[in-house]
Amino acid sequence: MAAFPDLVLLLRGAADRPQELMGGRTPLEYAELPNLRRLSRRGPLRPFRAAPFGHSVHAGDDLFAALGAGGGGDADLPMAAAAWEGAGHEAAAAYLHADPVHLAVTPEAAVLTDPDGLALAAEEAAELVGALNEELFSANDRRLAALAPGIWVLEMDRTPDLRTVPLEGLIGAEASAGLPGGPDRAHWHRLVNEAQMVLVAQPVNERRRREGRPEVNSLWFWGGGPRPKVGANPWVGVGGKAPGLLGLARWAGVPYLGGIPVFEGMVEAAEEGGPILAVADQARAAGARGDLGAKVEALEALDTGWLGPLEQALGEERRGRAWVVLGPEAPIGARAAEPAPPCPVLDCRGGRPRPWRRARAVGEGRASGGVVGWEDILGYSVG
């Protein structure tokens, strides 16, 4: 047997808690996943420690662990730095996400709405970022940049001593629960208020109000931890799309293989030598927005597009071994501080399945045996 698997699939957000709307089942139990059932014949289902550093997967804990990047403690994971360097920018001293958001304000609360609902154009983002730099950030020796219309990063000369909540962790919840904490919080609370005053007067927002579109009326500061130490790891390549993934791959010195439009490309890459890491983020992103229907659809699409070709490759013995990590969904809204739900991992062996193994449903409560982690799959510590 090879020392490492050929392929590891990290399906972020696949595991979850029971949902009342699904009759007490989890999305993983509710969805139609025939290929995952077939893969269950190929090896044991074990409980998995996907996010070992104590952060939610909204903060990127599972990705940092998978790529061998250090974490832990109470400091933020450096998602802003990963986004900045993943976009190809030169490394600077410190970064903080300052993403544009719309708060739905009532006399009782200010609720963080889904940032995708802003649908900012690149020209609108550039205009707003320019105004914020001119009227607010340049005076503090900081510079705001739009990496994408909805992804803004603040470049600074030092890492602030803050504890923040990732934007996706509080969609649909009271925004005050996500104000930065930590020793430097007072300054950053003032900065939130000052940014709101700058934004309300901008022509972009005036036009959006007239047109009945949501305005950018606040910034969400998060993910400003220091760049981590990244130890040696055995990955030959990593593919997929997830926040921070490209930056993490660059820190780890692992080639990035693209966004995986067709999973057979990952199988072919593994045939040239593994291990290859394939990351899917669709189920986690849908869950963060509370869209259970979209989450089930994402799981079923992955079953067809990823797990079907994997089962075929294992059956044809083009692959000797693969792991399927059914990663956890981080709690959202008022539950954002809760631990992530347990997640299972399936250790799949190539060749003909053992005749006594029967296909069975794969769920969060069906894993058995001792808990395994990335060190058990790849032989290196991420703690």
Q: What is the model's pLDDT at position 231?
A: 76
Which tokens sit at 281? 């983020």
Question: Per residue in 26-57, pLDDT tens?
Answer: 999 999 999 999 999 999 999 998 888 878 88
Residue 227 has pLDDT above 90, yes or no: no
Q: What is the model's pLDDT at position 334?
A: 62
Which tokens sit at 293? 């229907």
Confidence tier at 381 by pLDDT (50, 70, 90): low
CA-to-CA distance for 320 and 307, rounded, in angstroms?
A: 15
Residue 118 has pLDDT above 60, yes or no: yes
Q: Regarding predicted confidence, which is higher, 54 or 83?
A: 83
Q: Regarding predicted confidence, which is higher, 209 or 232?
A: 209
The DSSP element (H or E) to which 164 belongs, if any, is none
Instruction: Give the mean model confidence (pLDDT) for residues 186-195.
Output: 97
Q: What is the model's pLDDT at position 59?
A: 86
Residue 322 has pLDDT above 90, yes or no: yes
Question: Are the beta carbons of 64 and 248 closer than 8 angstroms?
Answer: yes
Average pLDDT, the chain: 91
CA-to-CA distance for 319 and 267, rounded, in angstroms?
A: 8
Tally of CA atoms within 13 A in the half-sphere of 364 that contains its CB:
22
Question: Are the beta carbons of 85 and 247 closer than 8 angstroms?
Answer: yes
Q: Give the number of other Cβ atoms within 10 Å of residue 363's Cβ.
A: 17
Q: What is the model's pLDDT at position 74?
A: 75
Question: Are the beta carbons of 349 and 321 closer than 8 angstroms?
Answer: yes
Q: What is the model's pLDDT at position 380?
A: 60
Beta bridge partners of 346: 45, 324
CA-to-CA distance for 383 and 268, rounded, in angstroms?
A: 31
CATH for the 7-71+230-378 domain, from 2.30.30.830, 3.40.50.620, 3.40.720.10, 3.30.70.580: 3.40.720.10
Whose tokens are 């739905």? That residue is 104
> What proportion of the chain, given as a percentage, has pLDDT over 90?
70
What 8-state DSSP symbol labels residue 200? H
Q: What is the pTM of this model?
A: 0.93
Residue 46: closest CA among 379, 364, 380: 364
Confidence tier at 175 by pLDDT (50, 70, 90): very high
* Domain boundaries defined on the chain: 7-71+230-378, 84-222
Q: Which of 117-121, 236-240, 353-357 has the lowest mean pLDDT?
A: 353-357
